[in-house]
Copies of this chain bind each other. A is one copy, B any other.
Amino acid sequence: MKLKVKLLGLEAGGKPIVVLNREDAEELGVRGLSRVVLKTDKKYLTGIVNVTDKIVKKGKVGVSEEVRKILNLKNNFEVEVEVAKFPSSLQHIKNKIKGKKLSYEEIFEIVKDAVDGNLSEGEIASFVVALETKGLDLDEAASLSLAMVETGKKLELNKKIIVDKHSIGGIAGDKTTLIVVPIIAAAGLAIPKTSSRAITGAAGSADRAEVLMPVSLSIEEMKKVVEKTNGCIVWGGALHLAPADDIFIQAEYPLTIDPLLLPSIMAKKKAVGANFLVIDIPTGRGAKMKTIGDANLLAKDFIELGARLGIKTQCAITDGEQPVGYAIGPALEAREALEVLMGKNVHDLVDKAAHLAGILFEMIGKKNGYELALKILKSRKAEEKMREIIATQGGNEKIKPEEIEVGDKKLDIIAEKSGIVLWINNAGINEVARAAGSPKDKGAGILLYKKLNDKVLKGEKILTIYAEKERKLERAEKLLEEAKIVGIGEKREMLIQHVKEIPLHKKTFILER
């Protein structure tokens, strides 16, 4: 059926929506949520049908922005509209539900159809849940990584050695990337680092770096930065490195399941051409990995999958019992990172960054990696490199830490008794910082004055909450009253919690990609 385009100017969260007049829909034999193929002379796309009596007249077809962009449509363009066939990838999904192992070709078809919009939200969720319940082996994980790489863009650097670093996330204030990247790049190694924005946390590395420089670069721009400086810190979301991941994560997120975690992390590393990789696995009660045993199992999977993909991979199991450094929130963290690059000794942050950089140095054959990393940091060569990266990505290379603006609404939290810091609630820190405005309000966040085992006197400041808006500061204060985030006591207390009634289930986090 030939129909004329009506642009609706509607964004449907990535979904290709096609609105048909009821009469045309009945003639085609489709109804709401059916799929149709739209064809122009050059391209075609599978869209999801909505039916109307009103906003689209007979003979017209309304299209969402997603459809307009892909088919490059204008008002009154003529398109051919046909009933879509069930994609054959559905059969592969069904086979996975039955427990069958999928081949690379089958997985590629599923990933391709997901990216091309040929699978519905429900069908994609079905695939994800089938992977979660039936499991996937290393062959399938490698196939998924490769299929994600093949259906996305790639960074092609003319370098023999390309290193990368990734953290599974979950620790408040973890600005290690902002220290590791310039150390590695200053040593002359290419590190094309892509980072994510915060999903449930107070800041992602992309949010932190964005305080210092633009991070929404295209792949061509990213390539130029790395070719010039050896490093970069770029938001991965704008690069389309593994667009399938954004689609699968929408199904995983509400259920906090993540069978595609490893394949999608590794796909993104493969897509930038990395051949040496260190994975940071923070471990502890407040971290995503609760025990060293669990962290080791995860490490094993990363290393084996890396081997299949030609990426030499090692893992660092790190202390995740408390935030890294003292600052939480994009601007506060950017400031702390810059201070460390300029010589300030924030012990845990410096130690962690030097270990991760050091592992990468030793993986490529250098000796005494940890000491080498510390030396580069102390020599201020890492700072110099960071300012070069900032300049090349379009930021102000001369920026001083005190010039980084933080929220002017503040609230100090005072110790009600003396003692030592027994615990710091990572998730609670994130929640309070988010209530204060992080990561959207870059100046919002928390500055800690005390860390684990520090002595505290009654009346001393424990932390300050920063916000850009009074209303959000009040919201953070209210939340702080409900959720204890720093525990102070004279000595370790044996009773952790007294359970009086059936506890409410709380949503847990999803590992960062």
Q: Residues of B contacting A49 with CB < 8 Å?
A: 13
Q: How far is the CA of A11 from the CA of B17 in the complex (A)?
A: 12
Chain A 124-135, CB-CB to B under 8 Å as 1, else 0, gives 111011101110
Which one of B9, B19, B125, B129 contacts A121 once the chains associate, using CB atoms below 8 Å? B125
Which one of B94, B121, B130 contacts A122 once the chains associate, using CB atoms below 8 Å? B121
Q: Residues of B contacting A295 with CB < 8 Å?
A: none
Q: How far is the CA of A121 from the CA of B129 in the complex (A)?
A: 13
CB of B123 within 8 A of CB of A126, answer no
Q: A186-194, A247-255, A263-271, A367-375: which one contacts chain B?
A: A247-255
Q: How far is the CA of A54 from the CA of B62 in the complex (A)?
A: 14
CB-nearest residue of chain B to A92: B505
CB of B52 within 8 A of CB of A255, answer no
CB-nearest residue of chain B to A508: B94
Q: Residues of B contacting A8 with CB < 8 Å?
A: 52, 54-55
Which one of B33, B51, B132, B440 contacts A97 once the chains associate, using CB atoms below 8 Å? B132
Q: How far is the CA of A190 from the CA of B117 in the complex (A)?
A: 49
Given the known A-B contacts A91-B507, A122-B124, A255-B90, are A33 and B14 also in contact in the complex, defined by CB atoms under 8 Å?
A: yes
Q: Residues of B contacting A153 with CB < 8 Å?
A: none
CB-nearest residue of chain B to A257: B97
CB of A255 within 8 A of CB of B54, answer no
CB of B9 within 8 A of CB of A122, answer no
CB of A10 within 8 A of CB of B94, answer no
Given the known A-B contacts A32-B11, A52-B10, are A505 and B91 also in contact in the complex, defined by CB atoms under 8 Å?
A: yes
CB-nearest residue of chain B to A32: B13
Number of A residues near B (Cβ < 8 Å) is 53
Q: How far is the CA of A29 from the CA of B133 in the complex (A)?
A: 32
CB-nearest residue of chain B to A124: B122
Given the known A-B contacts A49-B13, A128-B126, are A255 and B505 also in contact in the complex, defined by CB atoms under 8 Å?
A: no
Q: Residues of B contacting A505 with CB < 8 Å?
A: 88, 91
CB of A122 within 8 A of CB of B50, answer no
Question: Is there a chain B Cβ closer than 8 Å to A400's Cβ?
Answer: no
Question: Is there a chain B Cβ closer than 8 Å to A15's Cβ?
Answer: yes
CB-nearest residue of chain B to A22: B11
A476 nearest CB across to chain B (Å)? 15
Q: Residues of B contacting A124 with CB < 8 Å?
A: 122
Q: Residues of B contacting A255 with CB < 8 Å?
A: 90, 93-94, 97, 123, 126
Q: 13 interchain pairs (CB within 8 A)?
A: A9-B55, A13-B32, A13-B33, A13-B49, A13-B50, A14-B32, A15-B32, A50-B64, A91-B505, A122-B251, A126-B128, A126-B129, A133-B134
Please name the 9 residue pairs, one residue from A and one from B, whose CB atoms are nearest each other, closest first: A13-B32, A9-B54, A13-B33, A122-B125, A133-B133, A129-B129, A125-B125, A91-B505, A121-B122
Other CB < 8 Å A-B pairs besides A8-B52, A11-B32, A93-B255, 14 of them? Answer: A12-B50, A14-B33, A29-B440, A86-B507, A90-B254, A94-B255, A97-B129, A97-B133, A97-B257, A122-B251, A123-B254, A125-B129, A126-B255, A130-B133
